[in-house]
């Protein structure tokens, strides 16, 4: 059974930093690209970032480029999102999301999602 | 960026009737290299993460009831629920994964008439 368990969310002041983690299990982690998708409370879905299975390529939404860094440790089956220079508009539930296609590349729908971790940016 | 526009924003349908949600992309998401539409539909219930219903515009995911179907190509796509059930009343999103950023539509809220 595929499981994705996010952690690391919380309250942070504007300009601060936070690192999210996602522990994956139930599938061959290194062969799937992984995404972060966020959702502000009561709002729609926003794709944030994707990393290929071998971590060779990363992709970002313009809204977070230069501030967020996606990474993964395939030996630990864990996905990360390092967030810095946080802004109020980054407040959202952050979902760890597994790519649907087993080719390791990013263009893919998402077939499994974690339950999300809430990041609140406020003073 | 490819802009995904869903219509309508909300839709009220009687139980047992057909529900149709549309999604239009600002650019084609059909890849000429493999003739695949890089397009998906998701369902999201309150307090839950989204659930993948349809990928590649028309491929139903395993376990998704066959009353859900996806159609369309290029820039115009449709999600059809052939006979609305009470458990289908929630929010639906489309997404393109043709080019970064992999944008979502704004969502369509489906309600019972």
pLDDT digits (tens, 9 = 90+) for B31-76: 999 999 999 999 999 999 999 999 999 999 999 999 999 999 999 9
Task: Look up tokens 């390529």; give the residue.
Answer: A57
- Is the Cβ pair B103, A116 closer than 8 Å? no
Q: Identify the pLDDT of residue A37.
A: 98
- Is the Cβ pair A46, B104 closer than 8 Å? yes
Q: Which of A88, A107, A97 is nearest to A6 (CA)?
A: A97
Nearest CA in chain B to A59: B100
Q: Distance from first CA to last CA of chain B, Å, rounded?
A: 36
Burial classification of residue A79, based on how many CB atoms lie within 10 Å of its CB (0-12 exposed, 13-18 middle, 19 or more buried) = buried
User: Closest approach of chain B CAs to the CA of A38, in angstroms?
Assistant: 10
- Is the Cβ pair A110, B50 closer than 8 Å? yes
- CB under 8 Å to B113, separation ≥6 — which residues? B12, B13, B14, B17
Q: Identify the pLDDT of residue B43.
A: 98
Q: CB-based contact (8 Å) between B9 and chain A? A: no
CA atoms of A103 and A77, how far apart (whole Å)? 17
Q: Identify the pLDDT of residue A114.
A: 97
Tokens of A106: 């990013």
**Cα A61 to the chain's mean position, in Å?**
12
Q: Which of A62, A64, A79 is nearest to A25 (CA)?
A: A79
Residues A16-34: tens digit of each pLDDT? 999 999 999 999 999 999 9
CA atoms of A79 and A111, how far apart (whole Å)? 16
Q: What is the mean pLDDT of residues A30-46?
A: 96
Kind and range of the H or E element at A72? Answer: strand A68-73
A102 falls in which pLDDT band (50, 70, 90)? confident
Q: Identify the pLDDT of residue A106.
A: 87
Q: CB-based contact (8 Å) between B37 and chain A? A: no
- Give chain B's largest Cα–Cα span: 43
User: What is the overall mean pLDDT for chain A?
Assistant: 96
Identify the residue among A1, A44, A108, A109 best suited for mutation to test binding to B, counting B beta carbons within 10 A and taking the highest. A109
User: Closest approach of chain A CAs to the CA of B1, in angstroms?
Assistant: 10
Instruction: Find chain A residues with C-beta within 8 A of B38's C-beta.
Output: 107
Q: What is the mean pLDDT of residues A52-74?
A: 96
A103 falls in which pLDDT band (50, 70, 90)? confident
Q: CB-based contact (8 Å) between B92 and chain A? A: no
Judged against a pLDDT cut of 80, whether residue B102 lies above it is answered with yes
Q: Please state, as a whole number, how many other Cβ atoms lie within 10 Å of the Cβ of residue B65.
A: 13
């Amino acid at each position: 059974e595929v499981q994705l368990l996010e952690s690391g969310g919380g309250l942070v002041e504007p300009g601060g930093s936070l690192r999210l983690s996602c522990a994956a299990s139930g599938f061959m982690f290194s062969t799937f690209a992984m995404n972060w998708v966020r959702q502000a409370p009561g709002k729609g879905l926003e794709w944030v970032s994707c990393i290929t299975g071998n971590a060779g390529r990363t992709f970002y939404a313009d809204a977070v480029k230069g501030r967020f860094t996606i990474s993964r440790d395939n030996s630990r089956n864990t996905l990360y999102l390092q967030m810095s220079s946080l802004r109020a508009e980054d407040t959202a539930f952050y979902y760890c999301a597994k790519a649907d296609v087993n080719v390791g590349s990013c263009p893919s729908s998402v077939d499994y999602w974690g339950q999300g971790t809430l990041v609140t940016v406020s003073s | 960026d490819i802009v995904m526009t869903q219509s309508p924003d909300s839709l009220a349908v009687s139980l047992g009737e057909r529900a149709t949600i549309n999604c239009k992309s600002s650019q084609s998401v059909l890849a000429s290299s493999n003739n695949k539409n890089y397009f998906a539909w998701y369902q999201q219930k309150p307090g839950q993460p989204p659930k993948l219903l349809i990928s590649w515009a028309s491929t139903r995911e395993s376990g998704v009831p066959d009353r859900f179907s996806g159609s369309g190509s290029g820039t115009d796509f449709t999600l059809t629920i052939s006979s609305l059930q009470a458990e289908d009343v929630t929010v639906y999103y489309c997404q393109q994964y043709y080019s970064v950023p992999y944008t979502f539509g704004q969502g369509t809220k489906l309600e019972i008439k």
